[in-house]
Chain A
Amino acid sequence: MGMTAVEKVLARTAGKAVVRAGDVVYPDPDFIMIHDGLVRGVRRELDALGIDRLASPDKVMMVTDHEVIYGSARAAEFGVINRNAAKAWGIKNFYDVGRGGHGHIFPMESGLLLPGMFYFDNDRHATNAGAIGAFGFRVGAEISRVLATGTNWVMAPKTVQLKLRGSLKPGVHARDIGFRIARLLHEGALDFELDYRVLEFAGDLDGLDLAARAALCNSPTEMRAYGVFFPPSVAILERAKKHAQRPFTPVFADADADYESSATLDIGALEPQVAPPGGIHKSIDIGEAAGRKIDHAFIGACGSGMYEDFVLAAQFLHGRRLAPGVRMFIAPGSEQSTRRLLADGLMQIFMEAGVIPLPAGCGPCNDAVVGPLHTGEVSISTASNSNAGRFGAKDAQLFLGSPATVAASAVAGVITDPRTLTQH
């Protein structure tokens, strides 16, 4: 019996010949990530125990992405605490305000996260690593043990396999596949248990670039997958080689790997999807939501913060203005993407349309520390989820869609099928 991709990566990093789902192992990670929201708590915990040094400071990436613009005195205080912690712990790879971007995006774009790698993260959206053929495992506040000792226990997860068949129609996006998968899982039409599983994609994947793969990591995560994995294509490997800041060895599942379950999904007839308030598992074809008036739009966050997502959105905003009464924010996933958007003129399109660019990071998707909604307001965005209160007021109506759907809707002022607007 062969191994799945996650079993192979855990075997390599735990120094074992074979790892099977259910085994408890202690992987030596390729790096360790902690974001700005958790540093204070971890510092307090380690300080209280007298632990004043980390196992491998050089492996640690500290990232400021959850609250980049300090909108409060408390945020400014956290910024000081985080910088002091980085200094005390000797962390050189500190991607502070304006120096990196979104921790689940810029490392993939800049060749820090590469195919076959494994890392520990405090945040569950570390699943994005699967887009490039790597694994990031969320350990929450237990990142303190990883920082102090260099590792933590991992129970190797089971893997389920989903084969995609066909190719998307024009105007349909990888996020739409993710929304659809969430609905199918909820209905039981896809008979997968995703809790603590790795969802491995297979089948017709060559049409999915890195941004599309990152987009597709998002919804399974919200449905409790612990990892998502795409076997890297030739194009993904070439891209990784071009940007790689260190050597890497891609990993692929063995042909006789043990999948808990396997299913096939035809994506050829898929319509653009909208996730209405209440959750992505309620996703519907856009025709059922079209026409709903909106006040607020946002493109960015873990699932839609790649450069390609903004190129797509700009095609709907080119030469147009946001509808009266609509405010829209974008948060590119990396400072590098922001600079590219400036250099190639796309940022001009956003600005002329009336869009407000935010610095690279999570944007409103982190507890609406910027760009919140008031009671009763309606938003459509590419946020990770639409949990009540995620964008401020608990009774605000949060719709989710692809970057194309969000941009088209912001121009029209109502939820709009992107295929009804000419792309430039």
Chain B
Amino acid sequence: MTSEIDRYNWHLKGRCYKLGHDVPHAGGVIPASMITAREFDPQKLIPHLFEETDPGFHTRVNAGDIIVTGRNFGMGPKMNGYIAMQALGLGLVCESMPFLAYRAAVGCGVPVLTDCINVTELCDSGDELEIDFRSGMFFNHTRDIQKEYPPLPEALQEIIALGGNTGWLKRWWQQQQAGQQ
């Protein structure tokens, strides 16, 4: 397992996409219709990520870009928006998240930091950011700011390295099968 964690790219470097406080999952992150339709296909979800607040978001974003949010991001323990974020290769850095929203992001394999107090004061949309999710180091190269935040707990790193819960279960089952032979 160590090798899978080590092989994973914990170091994202990209542009900042900044959001405010209290962005709900339904409507704020992804339209409620995607949630009620139980749509979990990343390719179908990607065009709808932040659609209601920033149409065309998915066409301007690149792998490695970082979503930085204020307090209480992602209300409602839904997974749909995180599935799209993971498929796009985005990172997520929040001042705070309801715990079950954090759990959902981890479960979808999104590299995520929470409890990053006042992080929205250290960056603006478009800034060049660099985040090490394993150490919690935050760099804003545009403004020459460096800050250390609580890292991803070690116990959760393998879930993200394997792409989320399903990837984790797949690897676990392969190991079970291999162990029986």
Q: Which residues of A approach B to under 8 Å, CB–CB?
A: 24, 41, 45-46, 49-51, 138, 140-142, 144-145, 148-149, 153, 155, 157, 195-196, 224, 226
Contact = CB atoms under 8 A, between A and B. Distances in A.
Interface stretch (B3-11, B56-64, B163-171): B163-171
Interface string B68-105: 00000000010100000000000000000011100110
B169 A148 contact: yes
Given A144-B169, A224-B98, 8 more contacts: A46-B169, A49-B169, A49-B170, A50-B173, A138-B100, A142-B107, A155-B99, A195-B98
B99 A196 contact: yes
A224 B98 CA distance: 9
Contacts of A148: 169, 172-173
A50 B168 CA distance: 14
20 contacts: A24-B156, A45-B166, A45-B169, A46-B169, A49-B166, A49-B170, A50-B173, A51-B169, A51-B173, A140-B104, A141-B79, A142-B103, A142-B165, A144-B169, A148-B173, A149-B169, A153-B155, A153-B159, A155-B99, A195-B99
Contacts of A145: 165, 168-169
Interface in B151-181: 153, 155-156, 159, 165-166, 168-170, 172-173
Nearest to A25: B155
A141 B168 CA distance: 14
A45 B107 CA distance: 14
Contacts of B168: 145
A398 B98 CA distance: 26
B100 A196 contact: yes
A140 B77 contact: yes
A113 B98 CA distance: 28
Given A144-B165, A145-B165, A145-B168, A153 B156 contact: yes
A314 B132 CA distance: 61
A47 to B, nearest CB: 12
Interface of B: 38, 77, 79, 98-100, 103-104, 107, 153, 155-156, 159, 165-166, 168-170, 172-173
Nearest to B38: A41
A149 B165 CA distance: 12
Contacts of A195: 98-99
Complex A-B, nearest 10 residue pairs according to Cβ-Cβ distance, in ascending order: A196-B99, A24-B155, A195-B98, A51-B173, A49-B170, A49-B173, A24-B153, A49-B169, A142-B165, A145-B169
Q: Which of A46, A153, A226 counts the most B-chain CB atoms under 10 A from its CB? A: A153
A372 to B, nearest CB: 16
Contacts of A141: 79, 107, 165
Nearest to A144: B169
A157 to B, nearest CB: 8
Contacts of A153: 155-156, 159
Contacts of B79: 141
A224 B76 CA distance: 10
Contacts of A45: 166, 169
Nearest to A152: B165
A221 to B, nearest CB: 12
A196 B103 CA distance: 11
A142 B156 CA distance: 14
Contacts of A142: 103, 107, 165
A138 B77 CA distance: 11
Contacts of A49: 166, 169-170, 173
A196 B97 CA distance: 11
Nearest to B79: A141
Nearest to B99: A196
